[in-house]
Amino acid sequence: MRKCRSLVTLIGKLCADRIMERTQLQGPINATLFSPAQLQSIVLSNNQLNGSLDLGTNYGSQLLLVDLQNNSISEFAQGTGYSKELLLLGNPFCQKMPSSENCIVPQQPNSSYATPTENCVALSCNAQQLLSPNCNCANPITGILHFRSFSFSDFQNGSYYTLLQAAMMESFKSDQLPVDSISLSVPLKDAYDYLEVRLDVFPSGVYVFNRTGFSVITSQLNNVTFVKLPDAFGPFFFILNTDNYFTGSNKSSNTGIVIGAAVGGSVLMLLLLMAGVYAFHQRKKADQATELMNPFASWDQNKANGAAPQIKGVLSFSFEELKKCTNNFSEDNALGSGGYGTVYKGTLPTGVLVAIKRAKQGSLQGSHEFKTEIELLSRVHHKNLVSLLGFCYQLGEQMLVYEYIKNGTLTDCISGKSGFKLSWTKRLGIAIDSARANCKSC
Ligand SMILES: Nc1ncnc2c1ncn2[C@@H]1O[C@H](COP(=O)(O)OP(=O)(O)OP(=O)(O)O)[C@@H](O)[C@H]1O
């Protein structure tokens, strides 16, 4: 039942269709050509067949179509009893008989066939879904089957499609693919005389195929050895309708992913920015709180070990350190006292002598005032001024640690009590230097 490809075959074999378009066939047509009993159509258009056409009286009982368009047939002996389609447009005969029914533009022999679903109760599926032959609403894989060598002309004859449908379902089942049913519809001949049939493949047990099912089924439909079709159809190829399944939904989901990622990324960036600003403010608040609780926290708390001051020019001493180096602030270590409090002589672990001014009750300042005083004293340096070496701000104590002046007080020097006698010239020089230093520090 395959397409006949040679004139010998054309005459000698039984074929459902004889299609030899544009094959440069020449000469008159023998009436025996139309006689085979199973013959359904003869398509010999666009050749150089000539002479007088005579179908005879012995043409095949199943013959439905004789297409002899665009040949050189000059005569046609009507009245043979053949009443099915005979196309002679483009022959000299139609120039002589333009009104003949055989000379009009042929209708496309299409069919409105569709796999029946008449046993289904009235169901309305949503926009994405179709009603399957098994009465389920689902999203089918849809495409067009193209048959290039089909050998029948009776497109209205549903038995062909029933066979095709059964053969395809058999293949799906033998491959254990998740197919519930298939639907064939709207068979038509395209511009190349290929038969096109719409195919809908419905998923089994679900509304939509998953990605694996989709790819396996579409790849099988593109596999020429996948299905053994009824002979009347011959080989086929399948073109997927890319608008209504994963390809389309892929686009939207990919777009969704891109939009979602962009929005998510922006929100994340915004949150990170806000978290950064919040953390910065919290850190600032914490620093301020720490500063309030301990105004010396931001200074490098190098422990006093007798080394030279490193930060802000002063060292931070602990109460215990000063207590230890003054022999527990013993009376023996007291150098004197002023408005601020008692001054004790102390010896640092390195052997450096220091004078420690311990604030008495009533001389205690606020922490910030104490800190400001330390900062101020640490910046004042002059050969005639005692340098501040450090401080202590612990356990409610406020102490200033100065370099120790070994020659006693000015009174001691003037009176000679210290053993160091100042001449009047030296006294005047010291006074002038002190005045200058005071002016510089003002
Ligand atoms: N750096 C020092 N080295 C040695 N002795 C010191 C030192 N500083 C103070 N003294 C001694 O301690 C005594 C008291 O000094 P202090 O500076 O407290 O008295 P002040 O001059 O009345 O000052 P203020 O009124 O500011 O407290 C001084 O008379 C001095 O004998």
Q: How remote is the CA of residue 305 from the centroid of ligand 1, in Å?
A: 24
Report the pLDDT averaged over residues 18-24.
76
Q: What is the pLDDT of residue 246?
A: 59
Q: Match 């038995």 to its residue by tokens.
A: 159
Model confidence at 124, pLDDT cuts 50, 70, 90, reads confident
Judged by phi (left if over 0) then psi (alpha if -120 to 50, else beta), residue 26 lies in beta
Instruction: Using the predicted structure, report yes or no on whether residue 301 has a pLDDT greater than 70.
Output: no
Among candidate residues 3, 37, 38, the one with its CA nearest the CA of residue 18: 3
Q: pLDDT value at position 358? A: 92
Whether residue 302 has pLDDT greater than 60 = no
Which atom of ligand 1 approaches the CA of 404 most closely?
3
CB atoms within 10 A of CB 273: 10
CATH number of 315-403: 3.30.200.20
- Over residues 167-200, the pLDDT tens digits come to 888 888 888 889 999 999 878 877 777 888 889 9
Residue 154 and residue 80 in contact, taking contact as beta carbons nearer than 8 Å:
no
Residue 137 pLDDT grade (very low, low, confident, very high; cuts 50, 70, 90): confident
Residue 273 has what pLDDT?
93
pLDDT at 418: 64
Burial of residue 366, with CB atoms counted within 10 A of its CB: 0-12 exposed, 13-18 middle, 19 or more buried: exposed
Ligand 1 atom at shortest distance from the alpha carbon of 343: 12
Domain boundaries, the chain: 8-103, 130-253, 315-403
If you take atom 14 of ligand 1, which residue's CA is the nearest one? 337
- Look at ligand 1, atom 25, and give the residue with the nearest C-alpha: 339
The rounded percent of the chain whose pLDDT value lies above 90 is 16
Q: Is the pLDDT of residue 97 over 60?
A: yes
- What's the whole-number mean pLDDT along residues 285-293? 67
For residue 71, pLDDT over 70 is answered with yes
pLDDT at 49: 93
CA of 399 to the centre of ligand 1 (A): 13
Q: How many CA atoms lie within 13 A of 92 on its CB side?
A: 10
pLDDT in tens, 30-56: 888 888 887 777 888 888 999 988 887
Averaged confidence pLDDT in the chain:
78
Atom of ligand 1 nearest to the CA of 409: 31
pLDDT tier for residue 1 given thresholds of 50, 70 and 90:
very low
- Identify the weakest region by mean pLDDT among 136-150, 232-246, 274-288, 311-325: 232-246
Q: Is the pLDDT of residue 361 over 70?
A: yes
11 neighbors 33 (Cβ within 8 angstroms) = yes
Centroid of ligand 1 to alpha carbon of 220 (angstroms): 105
Please tell me what DSSP assigns to residue 2: P
Tokens describing residue 80:
């043979």
406 labelled binding-site residue: no
Distance CA 68, CA 74 (A): 12
pLDDT at 80: 65
CB-neighbour burial class of residue 194 (10 A; exposed 0-12, middle 13-18, buried 19+)? middle
Atom of ligand 1 nearest to the CA of 405: 3
Q: Supply the residue whose CA is at minimum distance from atom 16 of ligand 1.
A: 338
Distance set, CA 384 to CA 292, 314, 418, 429 (Å): 35, 19, 18, 11
Contact of 364 with 305, CB cutoff 8 Å? no
Mutate to test the pocket of ligand 1, among 342, 343, 382, 407 (most ligand atoms within 8 A of CB): 343
Q: Supply the pLDDT for residue 255.
A: 64
Write the pLDDT tens digit of every residue in 247-258: 544 455 566 677
Query: How far away, in angstroms, is 52 Cα from ligand 1 center?
Result: 147
Give yes or no for residue 310 having a pLDDT over 50. Answer: no
DSSP letter, residue 101: G
What pTM was computed for the model?
A: 0.40
Q: For residue 403, give the ligand 1 atom closest to its CA.
A: 1
Ligand 1 center–CA 367 separation, angstroms: 22
Question: Which residues line the pocket of ligand 1, CB cutoff 6 A?
Answer: 335-340, 343, 355, 357, 386, 402, 404-405, 409
Higher-confidence residue of 53 and 299: namely 53
Helical segments of 80-156, H only? 92-96
Q: What is the predicted pLDDT for the residue at 271? A: 92
The reply to whether CATH 3.30.70 applies to domain 130-253 is: yes
Instruction: Report CA 13 to chain centroid distance, whole Å.
Output: 62
**Hey, is 388 helix, strand or coil?**
strand
The pLDDT score that the predictor gives to residue 321 is: 92
Q: How far is the CA of 304 from the centre of ligand 1 (A)?
A: 22
Token digits of residue 4: 């006949």
Indicate which residue's Cα is closest to atom 23 of ligand 1. 338
Nearest to 193 by CA among 82, 83, 46: 46
Predicted local distance difference test score (pLDDT) of residue 376: 82
Q: Residue 20 has what DSSP assignment?
A: -
